[in-house]
């Protein structure tokens, strides 16, 4: 499913921090199948305002932290099961390790799926210190950047200091190496947008780190998400 040959050290940029934009991750047929069958089950609402960053979106587990366990596999299409299996493979870890120069072969990883509906956003932030590398994959068949929902790579803690913009189109992805200056944000999805912004993150953590998305004892109710 994943074209791991696209994950090469040559793709890494050093400004304003260590990151890469990777496109054409799938065949045309696989890209269409993934976009058409994007998960809509077992999401929770994640939101917070006024703290270190503002955020508001819907999240679903795909691979549990530090395991090879695929969450709610009975709800996934064959395309999504295949993608999940690729993400837990040794080959994927090796490719990202070679690409980033960070040994990710044995560290804990979790994978989550996201809907950003109208009004959803993610404020400017560097990732938590527990995180080493995050790979963000996108699944919209089409997208208008005027509707928001793009990943902005920032020069600093300033949402207007945009170094690069990544559209959430299926096959596009971004690799972010965590540092104190790895500032990035997701622009707010405008009200009246007819589709959610759809993505997945594969996040590699320092050994011993807890899941930031699914903390122990989390009892947040899960729900379906409309197929808009």
Q: Position of tokens 């998400």?
A: 225
In this structure, CATH architecture of domain 4-205: Sandwich (2.60)
Has residue 51 got a pLDDT over 80? no
User: Could you tell me which residue, 50 or 178, shows the higher pLDDT?
Assistant: 178
pTM: 0.95
- The pLDDT confidence band at residue 56, using thresholds 50, 70 and 90, is confident
Per 3-state DSSP, what percentage of the chain is helix, strand, and coil (rounded to 5)? Answer: 20, 30, 50
Spell out the residues 6+ positions from residue 219 whose beta carbon is closer than 8 angstroms to its own: none
> What pLDDT score was predicted for residue 48?
78
Instruction: Answer yes or no: is pLDDT of 52 > 70.
Output: no
Asked whether the beta carbons of 122 and 183 are under 8 A apart, the reply is no
pLDDT beyond 90 at 18: yes
Secondary structure letter of residue 5 according to DSSP: G
Query: Can you tell me the distance from the alpha carbon of 151 to that of 173, in angstroms, rounded to the nearest whole number?
Result: 10
Give the best-scoring range by mean pLDDT among 53-62, 85-94, 218-227.
Answer: 85-94
């Amino acid at each position: 499913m994943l074209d791991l040959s696209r994950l090469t050290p040559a793709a890494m940029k050093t400004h304003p921090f260590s990151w890469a934009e990777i496109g054409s991750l799938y065949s045309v047929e696989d890209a269409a199948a993934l976009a058409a069958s994007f998960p809509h089950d077992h999401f929770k609402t994640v939101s917070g305002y006024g703290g270190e960053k503002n955020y508001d979106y819907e999240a679903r587990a795909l691979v549990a932290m530090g395991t090879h366990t695929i969450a709610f596999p009975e709800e996934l299409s064959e395309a999504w099961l295949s993608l999940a299996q690729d993400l837990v493979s040794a080959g994927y870890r090796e490719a990202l390790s070679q690409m980033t120069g960070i040994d990710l072969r044995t560290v804990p990883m979790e994978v989550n799926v996201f809907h950003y509906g109208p009004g959803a956003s993610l404020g400017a932030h560097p990732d938590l210190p527990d995180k080493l590398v995050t790979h963000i994959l996108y699944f919209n068949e089409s997208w208008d950047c005027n509707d928001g929902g793009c990943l902005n790579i920032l020069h600093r803690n300033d949402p207007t200091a945009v170094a690069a913009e990544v559209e959430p189109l299926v096959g596009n992805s971004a690799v972010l190496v965590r540092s104190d200056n790895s500032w990035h944000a997701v622009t707010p999805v405008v009200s009246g947008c007819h589709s959610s912004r759809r993505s997945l993150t594969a996040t590699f953590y320092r050994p011993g780190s807890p899941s930031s998305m699914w903390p122990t004892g989390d009892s947040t109710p899960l729900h379906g998400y409309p197929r808009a």
